[in-house]
Amino acid sequence: MKEEKLITVTSPLLPDLDDFHEMLQQIWNSRWITNNGSFHKQLEKELAAYLKVPFVSLFTNGTLPLITALQALHITGEVITTPYSFVATTHALWWNGIKPVFVDVDLSTGNIDPDKIESAITPRTTAIMPVHVYGKPCNTKRIKEIADKYGLKVIYDAAHAFGVEVNGESILNAGDMSTLSFHATKVYNTIEGGAMVMHDEETKRRIDYLKNFGFNGETEVIAPGINSKMDEMRAAYGLLNLKQVDAAIEARHQVAIRYRDVLRNVKGISFFDDMPGVKHNYSYFPIFIDAENYGMTRNELYEKMRASNILGRRYFYPLISEFSTYKGLESSRKDNLPNAHKMADSVICLPMHHMLGEEDVERIIKLIIN
């Protein structure tokens, strides 16, 4: 039997190779390949304009801006966060010697439930680190009210939230800082890459020192920094991808429309609809399986898809709180996180990217409804 074409959960947005070659030629001519080069500067400016945020600092990936934000804000003690995310969110706390305190999520968004935050605050709590999971905006207003009441900082892991807006305003403007991932698997990628978004020039300057070992000029080190600078090749690649990211998001949107049209009528499958006033980026398309009504468990469907060369992914299973590093924490108790467990145990992210053709989408749908 002929093997069916492989469909992966995502596929990277790639710049035109000739255009990229032209930019590489410019880099070769200048012989300036990293350390705040001209493409790096240009990409920071263009991203700030595109994302409608005041300042952007580029990074080598989406994990280092999280680690750096915690350093820059001198966060210590305990930080309230979500277990329903990629493990990098919590690892960033661990690498800073901070104890994560997991709070359950809201089933309607998958994001941290603001109503459960206050009871997790202790005298050692210094910050909240929510995630806009799948690019769905957190309840930033409620989180700000709680943070202000208790004098806490807020760092948003916005790895999935590239270009997401609420009522015309970027979601990345919420909190003290937000961080992005530009990994190959994201809506917008620079191969590996990431960024931090901040509100003021002074913070931007400080972050730029911190991502360059703390250097201010040739001889002064103003803080114990790290090296997390983006190089010129990736910045050039990022400039080209920025020109085509809107078209890629629209292609994803069309896939989401088709999935929803059909899956809305399938018993035992649920998914998120668009939120009113929100400009979404369609970075992921998670569906949730209710085995009793669907007639098959999540894992059975996952395996069935794999057997047909359709590679959905169980983002985010297992929960971060289930990994051995975090499992022993008091807040990792299963009865503290019932909604997060429910989601993690029932989720499959369907293939979602700009390269999916109609035929691919119909093949995926057919497999799910049969």
Instruction: Tell me which residues touch ligand T4K (CB under 6 A).
Output: 8-12, 61-63, 85-86, 88-89, 131, 157, 159-160, 181, 183-185, 194, 311, 313, 315
Shortest CB 250 distance to ligand T4K, Å? 20
Q: Taking a C-beta distance cutoff of 8 angstroms, is the pair 263, 368 a contact?
A: yes
Residue (40 or 313) nearer to ligand T4K, CB: 313
Residue (60 or 336) nearer to ligand T4K, CB: 60
The overall longest dimension of the chain from CA atoms, in Å, is 67
Shortest CB 191 distance to ligand T4K, Å? 8
| Strand residue runs (E) in the chain | 7-8, 55-59, 78-81, 99-102, 125-129, 153-157, 165-166, 169-170, 177-181, 194-198, 215-216, 220-221, 269-271, 278-279, 285-289, 310-311, 347-350
Residue (160 or 234) nearer to ligand T4K, CB: 160
Shortest CB 83 distance to ligand T4K, Å? 12
Which residue number has the CB closest to ligand T4K? 62
Distance of CA 27 to the CA centre of its chain: 30
Residue (9 or 23) nearer to ligand T4K, CB: 9
Residue (78 or 157) nearer to ligand T4K, CB: 157
Residue (93 or 146) nearer to ligand T4K, CB: 93
DSSP 57-96: EEESSSSHHHHHHHHHTT--SEEEE-SSS-THHHHHHHHT
Shortest CB 209 distance to ligand T4K, Å? 21
Shortest CB 194 distance to ligand T4K, Å? 5
Shortest CB 190 distance to ligand T4K, Å? 10
Shortest CB 43 distance to ligand T4K, Å? 16
Shortest CB 294 distance to ligand T4K, Å? 24
Distance of CA 137 to the CA centre of its chain: 11
Residue environment code for 102-127, b if the CB has 16+ CB neighbours within 10 A, otherwise e: bbbbbeebbbbbbebbeebbeeebbb
Q: Taking a C-beta distance cutoff of 8 angstroms, is the pair 15, 238 a contact?
A: no
- Tokens in use for 200? 């003021």
* 3-class DSSP state of 122: coil
Shortest CB 349 distance to ligand T4K, Å? 9
Residue (10 or 203) nearer to ligand T4K, CB: 10
Closest CA to 154 of 131, 135, 127: 127
3-state helix vs strand vs coil in the chain, percent to 5? 45, 20, 40
Question: What is the C-alpha to C-alpha distance for residues 256 and 130, in angstroms, rounded to an integer?
Answer: 25
Residue (175 or 194) nearer to ligand T4K, CB: 194
Cα separations (Å) of 307 from 82, 312, 317, 353? 32, 11, 20, 21
Question: What is the C-alpha to C-alpha distance for residues 162 and 135, in angstroms, rounded to an integer?
Answer: 7
Residue (194 or 238) nearer to ligand T4K, CB: 194
